[in-house]
Each structure stands twice: as structure tokens, then as C-alpha cells.
A and B are shown apart, each in its own frame.
Chain A
Amino acid sequence: MAMKLMKGNHALAEAAVRAGCRFFGGYPITPQTEILEYLSARLPEVGGVFLQAESELGGINMVYGAAAAGCRAMTSSSGPGFSLLQEGISYIASAELPAVFVDVQRYGSGLGDIFQAQSDYFTATRCGGHGDYKLLVYAPASVQESVDLTMLAFDKADEYRNPALLLSDASIAQMMEPVELPEMRDVNFDRPWAMRGKHGGPNKRVSSTMYYIEDFDAYIKAKYDAMIAREQRWESVRVEDADVVLVAYGVSARICKEAVALARERGMRLGLLRPISLWPFPVKGFESVNPDVRGYLAVELSALPRLRDDVLLATGQRVPTESFLGGMHIPEPSAIIEKAAELIAE
């Protein structure tokens, strides 16, 4: 199949259409607005519905309704808008509906700014809204992965009847790369649970499933445990003999890959573990790391450590585990190498 040069946001949006997404309700906010703009033209071409909502609250609740009606549905946002989505996300998760959300991360609390960041890690991976739920969270590190993980997110959301989140960032969203797009999928929305009038059967009730499932606590824990067991995804680069392993996702992982190559040229044994699923966190990926590894460095574009917590949990804090915090700036590979070297020198 022919490769096509595409921008991250556009490729992600086209992938959603090819995954069978036929409803999008959302609100403009940089740096995700191109998803909205793209789908405003594209969805009507395939018989889908695009709605510009009055707010992110409106958008996410339209997605809730569309998803409950059986449709593959999506919304996307960033920063302050991602905060507003959380109420609806909690409802969608509690009703065990499949839906896909996108957070193209931008920097800062409050209004923040429009450039890239990775500060929404906790909101994304812990449970951004109220109650007990988890999202399947995928972190693309390239335009191609924005496509592939979008397809995967829709499939996994259906498989587990649990919403999935694509955690992108401004730089992955804005970069142009050649991509291979998958074929258009044909998805049957007349699923047995879909609300479309009861038509002689029992009435369908869409609400928190806690009202209907016996021993709900155990049930819901088992559901998420199954995802933890089966859905960990990662890429590892030369971790088997590494003295220091970098852990990074998304745009940071791209810089870290360069850092590993550069360090190896210099004779330093650096490796990279790149989580592709942020939840479930790829704890299993650490099994192939050099047993004599001397330290971990979590590299992320935030002012405060986030990813580092998960590295500590995954490794049991056996060796020094530090953060390289890019903050507002995409770091130079050499700066990462320097910090990694300090870790071994200590």
C-alpha cells in the first residue's frame, strides 16, 4: 500500500474514520483542533455525524449517548478541555461503554500554553474522574503509531467494553510523517446492548453497571485485572545489557532513542523501555532488562515527576530511579546521556 505524508492529528482522525468511528462531538482547543476540523469534513462523507458542541461537557455527553446507541464514537481535547471531559468519562466507564478519547497534551495547569507536554499522565492513567475506573491508555510516538493505536483503541474499547484514551502531545500531533493507512472497516452498530428502542425485547438500561452486577467490587476488579494481564504493550531498545535504562513514551521516547544510539556510539550501555500502553503500565517489559541494571531514568516533558512513579512501582525501587524533567523544553539527547551518566557515577 502507498505511503502518504500526513500530519499527526489528521492521520489520527482518518484512522478513526477507518476504524468505523461515525460520531464525533467536540470543541476547539489547540493543539487538537485539526482533529475536529478534519472530521467536520470527513465524517459526513462516510455517513457519519460531526457535531461541534457548545463545550467539552456537551461533546463528551453526546459521545456518551452515541456510544450507548452502539455507535463507535469519539471526542478529542487538550489541557483545560481534558479536565472538562472527566465527568462524562466517568459516566461512560461506569456504564461500561466503548468509546475513544484523545488528549493532545499541552503544557501547564490552568490555561497553560499550546506547546507540547506530558503533564496529563496522572489524569490519564490513574482515573481522571470520580470513582473506580481505568481507561486503556495508548501513547503514540509517531504519526504511524497515531494511526495504528487509534485502530487498536477502538477494537480494545469494544473488546472490554471500556473506554480508551489516546494520549498524544502537541509535537506528535503537529509533525508530518509518511504513513500507511489501513482499509476502511465496516462495523455493525446493532450490538445486543445498543439502545435503539426495545423492539419486543426487554428494555435496555444504560447506567452504572454497579446497579445490576452481583458482587460488583470483585467483578470490576477482575475486569481491570484481565486488562493488566493481557494488554501491556511496550517497545524495548537494548535493555538486555544496559547499565541505565531510560523510560519514556511519546515524543520523549523519540529523543531517548537518539540518546541510546549516541550513548552506544560512545561506548555507554544505555537502553530504552518505551511504554506504548500507559495503562496498563508495561510492568512485564522490565523483565527483559539487564538484572544488573544500575539505574532508571524516567524522561518526560513535565515540571513534576509523573512517569517515575510507575517505574518505581514496576521495579520495586531496587536501583536508583530518577527523573529527567524536560518541562517546557524538548531535551537534547546529550543532556539525557549526561544525567544517565551521573546516575551510574553516584
Chain B
Amino acid sequence: MAEKRTPALLVEDNRYCPGCGHGIINRILAEVLEEMGLADEAVVSLAVGCGGLMMYSFGTDWIQAPHGRAAAVATGIKRVRPETCVIAYQGDGDALAIGFSETMYAAIRNENITTIIVNNGIYGMTGGQMAPTTLPGQKTATSPAGRDAETTGLPLDVIAFMKERKVGYLARGALHSAKEINKVKKYIRAAVENQQSGGGYALVEILSPCPTNWHMTPEAAMKHIEAEVEPRYPLGEFVKNGVKVNA
């Protein structure tokens, strides 16, 4: 068995709620950057949202982007410092509601950055309001009777929008089992490798639990992803090396 070492990039304990998916994803990102020898080259454009709590625990250079604008901030950095490895780390509300334009245009320009979108179906940081990714019927702080798809639309599948465009890499993973977590690591690694080889825009969306605002135990939240969320959001790699693949 390989030794379970804490990556040096995790400089402090994270500040997420127990059972939060952000902690797992931060750790995977730290491991990938270290394994690829990129800890010193990486710059993270941090979204506003629970992911922003990375500022306390993640040891790369980072910049706090305004809510929704992480992809535009990442663009500015990457264009003037092409030698850095630029990661935009965002929540689903951040990337897909207020920042949908900035997110899509980074993909449309095939910007050579790596974006991670943490899809927890909710606005975590502000206390569990409805997000673009909230499932039909899902109760949230602003959809107390459950999301009404008639008046608020269907959950947003960003990869469905992006895969028709010229981009480098697109994948969606989930955190509900060790097997899926390993795949997420593989996807994040591929997305960073894509940037390092100048492959253009790369995105990994991750189905992630928010036990606090789902009002579930961490275990129940993981089961919920498998049973309810995953059927809505197909997993796998959708574009690799700039070519569409059949996931």
C-alpha cells in the first residue's frame, strides 16, 4: 500500500464542513500539481464561494477573483505569463450563473487554462440557495417547494454546451466512491497535462456533496450523488486532445 502523505501544498487544515467535497478536490489538485512538478508554477484563480476557503489552506500562488469572473482573471494571468500553470477553481453558482459568460468565453476562445467546477447543486457559501445545477424538485432555501423546472428551467449541463466547441479537454467526475474519486484524479491530471502541452481549454466538472445545505449526513450525501445527481449528469471524458470522445 502506498503511504498516505499529505501534500505539502496543503499548508493548513481546510475550513470546509465535515464531509464537504471541496476538501477532497483540493487534495487531489494538490497531489496532481506536486506529482507533475508544478507546485512552483501554479497560480490558482479562486472563485467566491466555499472554494474560496482554499485561500487559507492551499499553498500555491493564488488570486481572489470576483464572484463569477475567475475564468477572465485566469485569462489575464495566462496571457501575460504563458509559462505558469493557471487553474480556475469555481463553484457551480459562480461558474454557471453569475459567471456563465466568462466561463463560456474562456472555452470559446479555447483559452489555455484548466477550470475545475465543483457542482454541488447549490449555493453553499450563502446558505443553500438554488443554483443553475439544482435538480428538478430539489428543495433549497430559495426553492422551498422544490425547483420548478417550468419557471426556473432545467439543470444546466455546461459540458453539453462546451463539447460542440473547439476545446482541449472536458470531463465530468463524481466523489461518491473511491473508484470515482480515482477517476476524478485522472481527469484533473489530464486537464493539467492538456494545459502544459498547450492543448487549449480544459474543464473538469465534479459532482460533489454539500452535506450542510443538503441537510444530510456525509454518508447520505454520497449516496444521494449516486442515486439522484449522477443520472442527470453523465460522467466520463467528453473531449480529449481536442477531439470528442464517446463517454
Q: Please give me the residue from chain A that is nearest to B80 by CB atom.
A: A71
Complex: A22 Cα to B73 Cα, angstroms: 16
Known: A68-B77, A189-B80. A198 touches B63 (CB 8 A): no
- Interface size for chain B: under 10, 10 to 19, 20 to 34, or 35 or more residues? 20 to 34
Return the contact of B61 from the options A71, A95, A204 (Cβ within 8 A): A204
Which residues on the B side are within 8 Å of A55 (C-beta)? 101
Complex: A91 Cα to B72 Cα, angstroms: 13
A196 near B101 with CB under 8 A, answer no
A73 near B76 with CB under 8 A, answer yes
Q: List A residues 127-169 near B (Cβ within 8 Å).
A: none
A88 near B66 with CB under 8 A, answer yes
B40 within 8 A of A: yes
Known: A61-B102, A206-B64. A197 touches B76 (CB 8 A): no
Q: Please give me the residue from chain A that is nearest to B70 by CB atom.
A: A61
A197 near B59 with CB under 8 A, answer no
Complex: A251 Cα to B76 Cα, angstroms: 34
Q: Which of A46-54, A180-188, A319-327, A328-336 forms part of the interface with chain B?
A: A46-54
B41 near A64 with CB under 8 A, answer no
A192 within 8 A of B: no
A69 near B77 with CB under 8 A, answer yes
Per-position binary interface string of chain A over residues 106-139, scored 1 when its CB falls under 8 Å from any chain B CB and 0 otherwise: 0000000000000000000000000000000000
Known: A55-B101, A197-B41. A206 touches B63 (CB 8 A): yes
Which residues on the A side are within 8 Å of B117 (C-beta)? none
The 5 closest A-B CB pairs, nearest first, are A65-B76, A61-B72, A207-B64, A62-B76, A66-B76
B55 within 8 A of A: yes
Q: Please give me the residue from chain B that is nearest to A196 by CB atom.
A: B81
Complex: A51 Cα to B111 Cα, angstroms: 11
B122 within 8 A of A: no
Complex: A152 Cα to B74 Cα, angstroms: 28
Per-position binary interface string of chain A over residues 57-95, scored 1 when its CB falls under 8 Å from any chain B CB and 0 otherwise: 111011111111111010000000000000110010001
Complex: A59 Cα to B63 Cα, angstroms: 17
7 contacts between A and B (CB under 8 A): A61-B66, A62-B75, A64-B72, A64-B76, A189-B80, A195-B63, A203-B60
Residues of A within 8 A of B (CB-CB), count = 40
Complex: A203 Cα to B76 Cα, angstroms: 19
Which residues on the A side are within 8 Å of B64 (C-beta)? 91, 95, 206-208
B101 near A66 with CB under 8 A, answer no
Which residues on the B side are within 8 Å of A58 (C-beta)? 69, 72, 101-102, 105
B66 near A195 with CB under 8 A, answer no
Complex: A134 Cα to B78 Cα, angstroms: 28
How distant is A130 from chain B, measured CB to nearest CB, in Å? 11
Known: A62-B79, A189-B80, A196-B43. A87 touches B72 (CB 8 A): no
Q: Please give me the residue from chain A that is nearest to B58 by CB atom.
A: A203
A205 within 8 A of B: yes
